[in-house]
Amino acid sequence: MDKVIVSVATTGSWTTREQTPYVPITEEEIAAEAIRCWREGAAIVHIHVRDEQGRVSSDPVRYARVRDLIRSQGCDIILNFSTGGGAGIVPDEERIAPVRLRPEIASFDAGSLNFGDRVFINSPAFLEALAHEMQAHGVKPEIECFESGFIETAKRFIERGLIQPPYWFQMVLGVRGGAPATVDQLVHMVRQLPVGSLWSVCAIGRHQLPMNVAALVMGGHVRTGLEDNIYYSYRVLAEGNAPLVARIVRIARELGREPASPSEARTLLGLPPFQS
């Protein structure tokens, strides 16, 4: 069977030290965590950075520092920078800034929704600017879809040539306000994808592992990590991101799906070869 691309979302915008002491917050911690996860089989690291108070930030200086710390240790994991901005915390113009660092991938949230107690706005004007900026800097969008309408929005960018194949979709399931984390929903969304798509799934909290396993069986790819879920099992905190990566890699192998190395993932995603 096809190799599986394992992404790890180490930090996110919201996970706090009060919730779990294991979430990496500083650039040094995030880089060290990315390397630990790479050793366990992760091919992509999805990065958010935080400020001195631990609040979500889009500061390109901090993103560049994480990148440099990871690369200085000879780690070739694919870098995926978030443009989410913490759903309303960071102004739209600042959200785009990390794209100018030319990460291989950046997130592209293809629509707006209620997001827990917040509203996550990705206006048509913002998406238009973001798509152009990504194309100008050679950054591949990871098209995050919180419900099926997002896929239709992405298709309009694809039809206009603003997103190039192979298209890389991340189905984000189980957010309060978005699509529920069910196999039904995942199948429905995958059926909507245009020809030439690769897809991955992440899901919130206790849904993370079962939806990852569903993706493995369906031929998709997976994202794990403390951004989406802080528990290893019921009421037991995951002691970092690496145990979550190690577990899904173990399960994938049992199902006959070896984890793709970063260079194999670059080939699958149509990214240029690694340059240190």
Contact residues toward Zn ion (CB under 5 A) are 82
CA pair distance 201, 212, nearest whole angstrom: 6
Q: How far is the CB of 191 from Zn ion (least distance, A)?
A: 25
Q: Closest CB to Zn ion among 15 and 82?
A: 82
The secondary structure of 137-152 as a DSSP string is: TTPEEEEEESSHHHHH
Q: Closest CB to Zn ion among 82 and 200?
A: 82
Q: Closest CB to Zn ion among 82 and 212?
A: 82
Q: Closest CB to Zn ion among 82 and 241?
A: 82
Residue whose entry in the numeric block shows the structure tokens 């340059």? 275
Q: Phi then psi for 45, rounded to 5 degrees?
A: -115, 125
Q: How far is the CB of 107 from Zn ion (least distance, A)?
A: 6
Q: Closest CB to Zn ion among 9 and 214?
A: 9
Q: How far is the CB of 179 from Zn ion (least distance, A)?
A: 17
Residue 249 vs residues 27, 70, 188, 244: alpha-carbon distances, Å: 25, 21, 25, 9
- Which of 22, 76, 4 shows the shortest CA–CA distance to 45? 76
Can you name the residues that pair with 171 across neighbouring β-strands? 145, 201
CA pair distance 267, 244, nearest whole angstrom: 25
- If residue 132 lies in a helix (H) or strand (E), which one and from where to where? helix 124-136
Q: Indicate the DSSP class of residue 255.
A: T
Q: How far is the CB of 48 from Zn ion (least distance, A)?
A: 5
CA pair distance 19, 21, nearest whole angstrom: 7
Q: How far is the CB of 24 from Zn ion (least distance, A)?
A: 13
Residue nearest to Zn ion (CB): 82
DSSP SS3 for 238: coil
Q: How far is the CB of 23 from Zn ion (least distance, A)?
A: 13
Q: Closest CB to Zn ion among 13 and 185?
A: 13
